[in-house]
Structure 1
């Protein structure tokens, strides 16, 4: 299974990682056979927001990916009018099982005509840009239109990656990937205290008193349905969630 991650100048490195992390874990754990390929206009490094990303293959070399991931980033006006990228998205869309876009990346898939007049989950600043291509911003964190998934940003992008794994494989595989990601996250957190924690410790040791911990950012909390839907449960026909494919 080939997973194509679209990379362009100004791409959000955080969103690239959020989309690709679950698929890398899927492969590393031997739970699914997949190849993650960064695709762009030309091979080599691309400067993005928060770092750099290497392009493994050009648009002309990736002709029928099973999954296409379009992260957001800066310069969406330029990216949404990139003729080569738009033509590639239109060419691979019919044979792709899933296409997912995050934050301002939703404007790119709208520009390719993949959303029609349906709304998209997106970055709050991207609503006007979506309107230029016939779409609109939705208040939902994740929106499904056919086989195109859109989401708010890099945290919900990981949710979307797990959702695609559930659809492509099964619920047990998606739940196992999520558990292993959580275990890895807890292991890193346990071995390396965060910068705020180190600063609080340093300040306290200097006699500066206790610094109150920052309140959690609710935008970074995973969706409730991720907590619930990945565990086996009795079906509830009256309750719909993004995990339920529309008929």
Structure 2
């Protein structure tokens, strides 16, 4: 596994105009508790300020072109995904980075961008249940799972909407560092981790499955 000189894993969170706050900072709060194990970078297509869909902005640490290796690559959802799925240079740059990253995860409608890369063709994935029809229409070669809090298939993790990304992040932490570490992180955040990836009441709520 690729590590830097401090033996920390490198996590890159992709941001774009209109990214969803909790999609991004829910998972980063979990990984941020592991400062002795993980370094976090915000990655963007261009350097500078990137505004979330709610207004607060972040600063890009590195552009796609400035990143060579990562251990984890995450991409959030948000209304900006509706634009970025048609931004081919963005999709291509994300694909190139995802291809060489050992662990890749999408939160919410970030799955639409991941799907557009073609990297999860034939693999299982899920996404935001309120935006399920739109997100899944971006690529019919993906095996879209209607009822799932998150899905793991190969090196890819995909989560359902917004808060589900935090549950998925803890599942990735468990995979990398063990269950005890994941529980410790969740407890430190006073967060009740839903450890069951199949527990997804929002699929029914949004009419994706029958009673």
Q: What aligned pairs does 1:1-247 form with structure 2 within 5 A after superposition?
A: 1-27=9-35, 30=36, 32=37, 34-50=38-54, 51-124=56-129, 125-134=131-140, 135=142, 136-182=144-190, 222-223=193-194, 225=196
Distance in 1 (CA, whole Å) between partners of 2:45 and 2:91 is 11
Question: Matched residue pairs, number?
Answer: 185
Deviation at residue 138 of structure 1 after TM alignment: 2.1
Query: What is the SS of the residue equivalent to 1:132?
Result: coil
| Structure with the larger helix share | 1
Q: Offset at 1:94?
A: 3.3
Given that residues 127 and 135 in structure 2 are in contact (C-alpha distance below 8 angstroms), is that contact kept between their aligned partners in structure 1?
A: no
Q: Distance in 1 between matches of 2:18 and 2:114?
A: 16
- C-alpha contact 2:186 2:193 (8 A) present in aligned 1: no
The answer as to whether partners of 1:107 and 1:126 remain within 8 angstroms in 2 is: no
Q: Deviations along 1:81-128, whole A, 9 cap, x unmatched?
A: 222322222222233221111111110000011220434221122323
Q: Is the 8 A contact 1:127 1:137 kept in 2?
A: no
5+ long unaligned stretches in structure 2: 1-8, 198-211
SS at 2:136 equivalent: helix
Higher relative contact order (CA 8 A, sep 6+): 2
Stretches (4+) displaced over 3 A: none
**Unpaired stretches in structure 1, ≥5 consecutive residues:** 186-220, 227-247
1:161 CA drift (Å):
1.1
Per the alignment, do residues 162 and 129 of structure 1 end up closer, same or farther by CA in structure 2, a change over 3 Å counting? Answer: closer
The normalised TM-score by structure 2 is 0.80
The structural deviation recorded for 1:222 is: 4.5
Shift of 1:160: 1.2
